[in-house]
Amino acid sequence: MNYLAHLYLSADHPELSIGNFIADHVKGREIERYTGNVLEGIRLHRHIDAFTDAHPIVEESKKRLRTVYGKYASVIADVYFDHFLARDWSMYHHQPLTDFASSSYSLMNNNRQHLPERTMYMLSYMESQNWLVSYASITGIEKALCGLSKRTRFSSGMEHAHQFLQEYYQEFEGEFRRFFPELQEACKGYNSLI
């Protein structure tokens, strides 16, 4: 899952959200720097990733993507799934997506002491381009995938992956709808704070 889903699955708990948000940039022994619920958020992030990567429904999406995008299939599937979450946000959360995004950016900016340097750098772009809200549109997904494509070492083709989403939209949407309730349930059982 991508940024929006990770923040959503933190159940509006500030410290879990921070840990969940920074987890990809916390490497090796850097984790020892964190304690309490921020550490639990990092663990929650890793739980979400492991559950998602191993899930047979997600594998259906990745298998379809792998034929064109190879090893980048997982990354693209994560972005697609954030699209469906953002598009149908009102089905999942009481707060409008624009407000949730604004609150999330503020939370991170107000807790910069917890953010690795790479996270702070990324956050500046995320907030100025409002990634969390932009995921709701195909244009926003195109921009996100183009940005990811620029950061790959090899030619990924991700800059065209929004077209693949449009071509197989119903299939990916169906997979998201079947998978996401299972992920929500898996996260509820993970931590007593949720």
The answer to whether the CB of 16 falls within 8 A of the CB of 10 is yes
| pLDDT over threshold 90, residue 37 | yes
Q: How confident is the model at residue 48 (pLDDT cuts 50, 70, 90)?
A: very high
Look at residue 193 in the predicted model and tell me its pLDDT: 54
Look at residue 155 in the predicted model and tell me its pLDDT: 77
Whole-number percent of the chain with pLDDT over 90: 86
In 10 A of CB 55, how many CB atoms? 18
User: Is residue 164 in a domain?
Assistant: yes
User: Is residue 40 in a domain?
Assistant: no
- Nearest CA among 105, 86, 73, 121 for reference residue 4: 86
The answer to whether the CB of 2 falls within 8 A of the CB of 81 is yes
- Cα 150 to Cα 134: distance, rounded to the nearest angstrom: 18
- Nearest CA among 168, 136, 176 for reference residue 69: 168
Q: For the chain, what is the domain count?
A: 1
Angle at CA of residue 119, ends 154 and 162, nearest 5°: 45
User: Is residue 71 in a domain?
Assistant: yes
Look at residue 189 in the predicted model and tell me its pLDDT: 66
| Domain ranges, residue 116 | 56-188
User: Is residue 179 in a domain?
Assistant: yes
Instruction: Look up the pTM and report it.
Output: 0.93
Look at residue 150 in the predicted model and tell me its pLDDT: 80
User: Is residue 110 in a domain?
Assistant: yes
| pLDDT over threshold 70, residue 35 | yes
